Structure 1
Amino acid sequence: MADTSHGPSSFWTQADALLRKNLTYQKRNAKTNCRLILFPFILCILLVITQSLLDHELNKASRKCGCKDVDINGNGQLEKVCGLQYSDAFQAATCSIPSPPQWPPLLQIPAPQYRAVRSEVIPFTDLPNDSCRSTGSCPVTILFTGNNQSLGENLAGNMFPSSFTVNSSNYMDSLAYNALGSDTEPKRDNFIDPAFIENSTLYYVQHQCASNSTLSISVQSVIEFQKEAACVQDLKLWRNSSSEINEQLFKGYRKGNSDEKINEILAAYDFLNSNGNNFNVSIWYNSTYKEGDIQGQFNYLRVPRFVNLVSNAYLQFFQGPGTKMLFEFVKEMPKAASKINVDLASLLGTLFFTWVILQLFPVVLTSLVYEKQQKLRIMMKMHGLGDGPYWMISYAYFLSISLMYMLVFVIFGSVIGLKFFTLNDYGIQIVFYFIYINLQISVAFLVAAFFSNVKTATVVGYIGVFGTGLLGGFLFANFVEDSSFPRGWIIVLELYPGFSLYRGLYEFSQYTFTGNAMGTHGMRWGNLSDSKNGMRQVLIIMFVEWLVLLFVAYYVDQVLSSGSGKSPLFFLQNFGKKRPSSFRKPSLQRQGSKVFVDMDKPDVIQEREKVEQLLLEPSTTHAIICDNLQKVYPGRDGNPEKLAVRGISLALPPGECFGMLGPNGAGKTSFISMMIGLTKPTSGTAYVQGLDIRTHMDWIYTSMGVCPQHDLLWETLTGREHLLFYGRLKNLKGSALIQAVEESLRSVNLFNGGVADKQAGKYSGGMKRRLSVAISLIGDPKVVYMDEPSTGLDPASRSNLWNVVKRAKQDRAIILTTHSMEEAEALCDRLGVFVDGSLQCIGNPKELKGRYGGSYVFTMTTSLDHEQEVVMMVQQLSPNAERTYHTSGTQKFEMPKNEVRIADVFHAVEIAKSRFPVFAWGLSDTTLEDVFIKVANGA
Structure 2
Amino acid sequence: MWTNVRLISFPIFFCLLFVALQRLVDSQLNSSDNRCGCVCVQVDPNGQCQRTECGLQYSDMDQASSCPIPNPPEWPALLQIPGPNYRAVRTDVLTSGDLPDASCRSLGSCPATTLVTGNNQSLGEFLKGSMFSTSFTPDDPQGSFATNVVGTETYPERYNYLEPAFASALPLYNIQSQCTSNSTFSISINQSSTSRDIELRCVQGLYLWRNSSSEVNSELYKGYRKGNSEEKINEFVAAYDFLNSDGNTFNVTVWYNSTYKNYSTGAPMSLLRIPRSVNLASNAYLQFLQGSGTKMLLEFVKEMPKPETKLKIDLSSLLGTLFFTWVILQLFPVVLTSLVYEKQQKLRVMMKMHGLGDGPYWMISYAYFLVISLLYMLCFVIFGSVIGLKFFTLNDYSIQLVFYFIYINLQISMAFLVAAVFSSVKTASVIGYILVFGTGLLGGFLFESFVEDESFPRGWIIVMELYPGFSLYRGLYEFGQYSFRANYMGTDGMRWGNLSDSTNGMREVLIIIFVEWLVVLFFAYYVDQVSSSGAGKSPLFFLKNFRKKPQSSFRRPSLQRQGSKVFVQMDKPDVTQELNVIRFIHLYEELFLFFFGFLIFFSFFISPEGEWLEQLLLEPSTSHPIICDDLKKIYPARDGNPEKFAVRGLSLALARGECFGMLGPNGAGKTSLINMMIGLTKPTSGTAYVQGLDIRTYMDTIYTSMGVCPQHDLLWETLTGREHLLFYGRLKNLRGSALNQAVEESLKSVNLFHGGVADKQAGKYSGGMKRRLSVAISLIGDPKVVYMDEPSTGLDPASRNSLWNVVKRAKKDRAIILTTHSMEEAEALCDRLGIFVDGSLQCVGNAKELKARYGGSYIFTMTTSVNHEEEVENMVRHLSPSANKIYQISGTQKFELPKQEVRIADVFQAVENAKTKFTVFAWGLVDTTLEDVFIKVARGAQAFNILS
TM-score, normalisation: structure 1: 0.90
Query: Structure 1 residues 277, 664: closer, same or farther in 2, change over 3 A?
Result: same
- 2:850 alignment partner AA: L
- Extract unaligned runs of 5+ from structure 2: 593-620, 942-948
CA distance in structure 2 between the partners assigned to 1:287 and 1:530 by the alignment? 24
The structure 2 residue matched to 1:494, chosen from 460, 465, 480, is 465
Aligned to 1:462: 433
Aligned partners of 2:228 and 2:263 also within 8 Å: no
Aligned partners of 1:727 and 1:778 also within 8 Å: yes
Q: Spell out the pairing of 1:283-432 with structure 2 (5 A cutoff).
A: 283-290=254-261, 298=269, 301-316=272-287, 320-432=291-403
> Which secondary structure does the structure 2 equivalent of 1:113 belong to?
coil
- 1:362 alignment partner AA: P
- 2:67 alignment partner AA: C
Q: Does 1:866 align with 2:837?
A: no
The structure 2 residue matched to 1:188, chosen from 152, 158, 166, is 158
CA distance in structure 2 between the partners assigned to 1:240 and 1:522 by the alignment? 48
Q: Spell out the pairing of 1:244-643 with structure 2 (5 A cutoff).
A: 244-270=215-241, 281-290=252-261, 298=269, 301-316=272-287, 320-573=291-544, 582-587=552-557, 595=565, 598=568, 599-616=570-587, 617=589, 618=592, 619-643=621-645
Aligned partners of 1:382 and 1:704 also within 8 Å: yes
Aligned to 2:757: 755
Name which of structure 1's ranges 337-346 and 152-161 shifts more when overlaid on structure 2: 152-161
CA distance in structure 2 between the partners assigned to 1:244 and 1:495 by the alignment? 39
Residue 551 (structure 1) shift: 3.1
Deviations 1:232-283 (A, max 9, x none): 2234445565555444444433333333332223234455566666655544
CA RMSD of aligned residues (A): 3.0
Deviations 1:341-361 (A, max 9, x none): 211111111111111111111
> Which secondary structure does the structure 2 equivalent of 1:886 belong to?
strand
The structure 1 residue matched to 2:885, chosen from 867, 883, 886, is 883
CA distance in structure 2 between the partners assigned to 1:381 and 1:661 by the alignment? 27
CA distance in structure 2 between the partners assigned to 1:787 and 1:444 by the alignment? 33
Aligned partners of 2:136 and 2:144 also within 8 Å: no
The structure 2 residue matched to 1:198, chosen from 160, 163, 168, is 168
Name which of structure 1's ranges 540-549 and 283-292 shifts more when overlaid on structure 2: 283-292
> Which secondary structure does the structure 2 equivalent of 1:893 belong to?
strand
Aligned partners of 2:657 and 2:814 also within 8 Å: yes
Residue 90 (structure 1) shift: 2.6
Aligned partners of 1:596 and 1:838 also within 8 Å: no
Aligned partners of 1:595 and 1:646 also within 8 Å: no
Greater relative contact order structure (CA < 8 Å, 6+ sep): 1
Query: Structure 1 residues 778, 622: closer, same or farther in 2, change over 3 A?
Result: same
Residue 41 (structure 1) shift: 1.6
Deviations 1:520-546 (A, max 9, x none): 332334434444433334334333433
Aligned partners of 1:289 and 1:296 also within 8 Å: no
Aligned partners of 2:475 and 2:509 also within 8 Å: yes
Residue 368 (structure 1) shift: 1.4
Q: Does 1:177 align with 2:147?
A: yes
Aligned to 2:904: 902
Aligned partners of 1:611 and 1:650 also within 8 Å: yes
Aligned partners of 1:64 and 1:95 also within 8 Å: yes
CA distance in structure 2 between the partners assigned to 1:574 and 1:841 by the alignment? 42
Aligned to 2:180: 210
Deviations 1:586-636 (A, max 9, x none): 326859998586231222222122213213314211100111111122222
CA distance in structure 2 between the partners assigned to 1:892 and 1:819 by the alignment? 25
Identity %: 74
- 1:186 alignment partner AA: P
Aligned to 2:804: 802
Residue 153 (structure 1) shift: 5.1
CA distance in structure 2 between the partners assigned to 1:257 and 1:423 by the alignment? 39
Q: Does 1:56 align with 2:27?
A: yes
Deviations 1:406-454 (A, max 9, x none): 2222222122121222222333323332232222222222222222211
Residue 295 (structure 1) shift: 8.1
CA distance in structure 2 between the partners assigned to 1:590 and 1:81 by the alignment? 109
Aligned partners of 1:593 and 1:684 also within 8 Å: no
Aligned partners of 1:563 and 1:678 also within 8 Å: yes
CA distance in structure 2 between the partners assigned to 1:360 and 1:808 by the alignment? 44
> Which secondary structure does the structure 1 equivalent of 2:235 belong to?
coil
- 1:92 alignment partner AA: A
CA distance in structure 2 between the partners assigned to 1:43 and 1:929 by the alignment? 67
- 1:688 alignment partner AA: V
CA distance in structure 2 between the partners assigned to 1:127 and 1:66 by the alignment? 47
Residue 404 (structure 1) shift: 1.7
Query: Structure 1 residues 890, 543: closer, same or farther in 2, change over 3 A?
Result: same
CA distance in structure 2 between the partners assigned to 1:555 and 1:767 by the alignment? 38
CA distance in structure 1 between the partners assigned to 2:359 and 2:575 by the alignment? 41
> Which secondary structure does the structure 1 equivalent of 2:653 belong to?
strand
Name which of structure 1's ranges 251-260 and 810-819 shifts more when overlaid on structure 2: 251-260
Aligned partners of 1:802 and 1:826 also within 8 Å: yes
Aligned to 2:922: 920
Deviations 1:204-227 (A, max 9, x none): 222333334322234444354432
Aligned partners of 1:165 and 1:178 also within 8 Å: no
Aligned partners of 2:355 and 2:703 also within 8 Å: yes
> Which secondary structure does the structure 1 equivalent of 2:65 belong to?
helix
Residue 105 (structure 1) shift: 1.5
TM-score, normalisation: structure 2: 0.89
CA distance in structure 2 between the partners assigned to 1:293 and 1:686 by the alignment? 80
- 1:383 alignment partner AA: H
CA distance in structure 1 between the partners assigned to 2:494 and 2:565 by the alignment? 73
Aligned partners of 2:158 and 2:270 also within 8 Å: no
Aligned to 1:66: 37
Query: Structure 1 residues 232, 929: closer, same or farther in 2, change over 3 A?
Result: same
- Extract unaligned runs of 5+ from structure 1: 1-25
Aligned partners of 1:604 and 1:839 also within 8 Å: yes
Aligned to 1:87: 59
Q: Does 1:853 align with 2:824?
A: no
Deviations 1:95-114 (A, max 9, x none): 22233222212111112232
> Which secondary structure does the structure 2 equivalent of 1:301 belong to?
coil
CA distance in structure 2 between the partners assigned to 1:299 and 1:341 by the alignment? 18
> Which secondary structure does the structure 2 equivalent of 1:686 belong to?
strand
Aligned partners of 2:157 and 2:271 also within 8 Å: no
CA distance in structure 2 between the partners assigned to 1:350 and 1:487 by the alignment? 20
Name which of structure 1's ranges 772-781 and 513-522 shifts more when overlaid on structure 2: 513-522
Aligned partners of 1:146 and 1:152 also within 8 Å: yes
> Which secondary structure does the structure 2 equivalent of 1:105 belong to?
coil
Query: Structure 1 residues 123, 488: closer, same or farther in 2, change over 3 A?
Result: closer
CA distance in structure 2 between the partners assigned to 1:803 and 1:716 by the alignment? 29
- 1:871 alignment partner AA: E
- 1:199 alignment partner AA: A
Q: Does 1:102 align with 2:74?
A: yes
CA distance in structure 2 between the partners assigned to 1:288 and 1:532 by the alignment? 21
Residue 311 (structure 1) shift: 4.1
Name which of structure 1's ranges 619-628 and 265-274 shifts more when overlaid on structure 2: 265-274
Deviations 1:10-47 (A, max 9, x none): xxxxxxxxxxxxxxxx3xxx1x2332233212211111
The number of aligned residues is 905
